[in-house]
Amino acid sequence: MTASTRAAEPNGRQAPSVGAHAEKTMNSTNPSSNAIPAGATGTMRALYKHHAGPGLMLDPKRPIPAIGPRDVLVRVTHAGICGTDRHIWEWDHWAANRIPVGIVTGHEFVGVVERVGSAVGDKVKVGRRVSAEGHICSWTDYNARTGNAHIARDTKILGVDRDGVFAEFVSVPEENIWPVHPKIPDHLAAVLDPLGNAVHTVMSANVSAKTVLITGVGIIGLMAVTVAKCAGASRIFVTDVDEKRLKLARKLGAVEAYKANDPKWIEKVRAETRGDGPDVLLEMSGNPNAIDDGFRALRMGGTAALLGIPSRPISFDLSNHVIFKGATVLGINGRRMFETWYQMEEMLLSGRLELDEIVTHQIRLEDFAEGFRLMQSGEGIKIVMKI
C-alpha cells in the first residue's frame, strides 16, 4: 500500500541465497510450540491507535482476532513499518480523516499460519509461512470480476480500515494469503507489500531497453531502481533532495542521481538522452514540484506511471505535460492480484534485486517508538519489527 490508501535460503550451492540474512531466517515454517489451542480465545500484544492524536500504544492484552469459516489466523513474525503507518503515527490530515480510533495498525508482514477456518482449502495449511495482500475486497464488483481487484470499490485495507499486523496475530481471508517461497528470507518477505508497489509501477510502464527517470527515491523509489534494473531498463536516472538516498540509488543501479533542487538537472538528463528526455517517468514522491519537473523531463510520447500521492489537489500543466506531449499516464494503486505477486517472486528468485541495503533496521515490537523515530529522522529507510 502507499500513503494514499485513498484519502503501501538455504545456502545450497545450486540454490543461491536471495538475501544476506537468508540462512538464519529460514526456519519459521514449523508450527510454534506455544500454539494457541483451536477455538481458544486468548489475548495478544498489539500496537493500536489509542486516541485521535499522534502516537500508538502497545496493548498487552488485546483479544486474538476471531476467524470466520474462510479466514486464516496468522501468527505474525515480522512486520514492516510503512509510510502509511507514519501518517497514522503522526496523525496528519489524511489519517485523522481515515483511521478509526482503536484499530490495530500495520499491513506489511510475514508470519506462520496458526489456524484456518472450517471452509479453507488445503492449500493453506497450519504451519505454512505466508504473507498476504492487504487490500481485501468481496470479489463481487465490476473491477474484481474483470481482473482488477486491486481497485475494487469495496476494498478494505489491513491496518487502515480493519485490524492489521502490528500484533501477534492477524485474521486474513483465504483469498488474500500469499504463500512465501522458502528461498525468500523473512526480512524481505515482510516487505512484499511495498516491493509490490514498486513492481506494479515498473511493470505497468514497460521499461525494457528504455531510459527511466525516477522522481523521489524514498523506500519505494529505491525499490523501483533495483526493480527497473531487473526488468531490463537500459539506464536509470533519479532525483531526490536527500544526498544519502541519491548515493544509495546510484549503488542500486542508477547511472545518474540529481539533486532535485539543481536547476540544471532537466537539461542534464535531456543531454544524456539525445536531447529528447527519458522514455519513462516513474513518479514516486507525490511532490508537486517533482511531478512538474518529471513531466518536463519526459520525452514527447513518453509514459508516466504515478505512484506518489500529493497530499492535496495540485495544479498541473495538463496541456503541455500530457496533451501536447502525447504522454501516456498511468495511475498506480496497490498491487495487481496476483500478477504482481508472481512477478515479484520471480524477481526475488532471480537474485537480481538488491534489497538488503533498503531494509536498514530490524527491531523488537516493544521498540516501536524507536522505529518511528528512525524513520522520521531519515536514519533508517525500511524498518522491520520482529513480533
Binding of Zn ion by 284 (CB under 5 A): no
Closest separation in Å from C-beta 8 to Zn ion: 3
Q: Cα–Cα–Cα angle for 83, 238, 16, nearest 5°? A: 75
Of 68, 40, 78, the closest CA to residue 162 belongs to 68
Q: What is the DSSP string of 303-324?
A: EEEE----SS-----HIIIIIT
Per CB under 5 A, contacts with Zn ion among 189-248 are 193-194
In terms of Cβ atoms closer than 10 Å to its own Cβ (0-12, 13-18, 19+), residue 79 is buried
Closest separation in Å from C-beta 219 to Zn ion: 9
Measured from the CB atom, the residue of 83 and 302 that comes closer to Zn ion is 83
The span of 102-110, 207-215, 238-246, 371-379 binding Zn ion (CB under 5 A) equals: 102-110
Per CB under 5 A, contacts with Zn ion among 304-343 are none
Measured from the CB atom, the residue of 328 and 360 that comes closer to Zn ion is 360
The span of 163-171, 187-195, 240-248, 373-381 binding Zn ion (CB under 5 A) equals: 187-195
The span of 3-11, 61-69, 252-260, 269-277 binding Zn ion (CB under 5 A) equals: 3-11
Measured from the CB atom, the residue of 164 and 194 that comes closer to Zn ion is 194
Answer for the pair 298, 276: CB distance below 8 angstroms, yes or no: no
Provide the 3-class DSSP secondary structure of residue 75.
strand
Closest separation in Å from C-beta 197 to Zn ion: 7
Provide the 3-class DSSP secondary structure of residue 177.
strand
Measured from the CB atom, the residue of 85 and 279 that comes closer to Zn ion is 85
Kind and range of the H or E element at 377? helix 368-377
Q: Point out the residues that are catalytic.
A: 84, 87
Answer for the pair 40, 347: CB distance below 8 angstroms, yes or no: no
Measured from the CB atom, the residue of 31 and 310 that comes closer to Zn ion is 310
Binding of Zn ion by 1 (CB under 5 A): yes
Q: Which residues, including other chains, have CB under 8 Å from residue 270's CB and lie 6 or more apart?
A: 276, 277, 297
Measured from the CB atom, the residue of 1 and 136 that comes closer to Zn ion is 1
In terms of Cβ atoms closer than 10 Å to its own Cβ (0-12, 13-18, 19+), residue 53 is exposed
> What's the rounded Cα separation, in Å, for the pair 135 and 156?
6
Measured from the CB atom, the residue of 3 and 184 that comes closer to Zn ion is 3
Closest separation in Å from C-beta 84 to Zn ion: 5
The span of 64-72, 185-193, 268-276, 326-334 binding Zn ion (CB under 5 A) equals: 185-193
Closest separation in Å from C-beta 88 to Zn ion: 11
C-alpha cell at 250: 546510484
> What's the rounded Cα separation, in Å, for the pair 38 and 21?
33
Binding of Zn ion by 95 (CB under 5 A): no
Closest separation in Å from C-beta 326 to Zn ion: 33
Q: Which residues, including other chains, have CB under 8 Å from residue 16's CB and lie 6 or more apart?
A: 9, 351
Give residue for cell 536498514: 360
Answer for the pair 226, 252: CB distance below 8 angstroms, yes or no: yes
The span of 188-196, 235-243, 271-279, 331-339 binding Zn ion (CB under 5 A) equals: 188-196
Answer for the pair 38, 127: CB distance below 8 angstroms, yes or no: no
Closest separation in Å from C-beta 81 to Zn ion: 9
Binding of Zn ion by 8 (CB under 5 A): yes
Per CB under 5 A, contacts with Zn ion among 67-86 are 82
Measured from the CB atom, the residue of 193 and 293 that comes closer to Zn ion is 193
How many residues line the site for Zn ion (CB under 5 A)? 6
Closest separation in Å from C-beta 375 to Zn ion: 12
Question: Phi and psi dihedrals of 268, rounded to 5?
Answer: -65, -45
Per CB under 5 A, contacts with Zn ion among 106-125 are 108
Binding of Zn ion by 358 (CB under 5 A): no
Binding site for Zn ion (CB under 5 A): 1, 8, 82, 108, 193-194
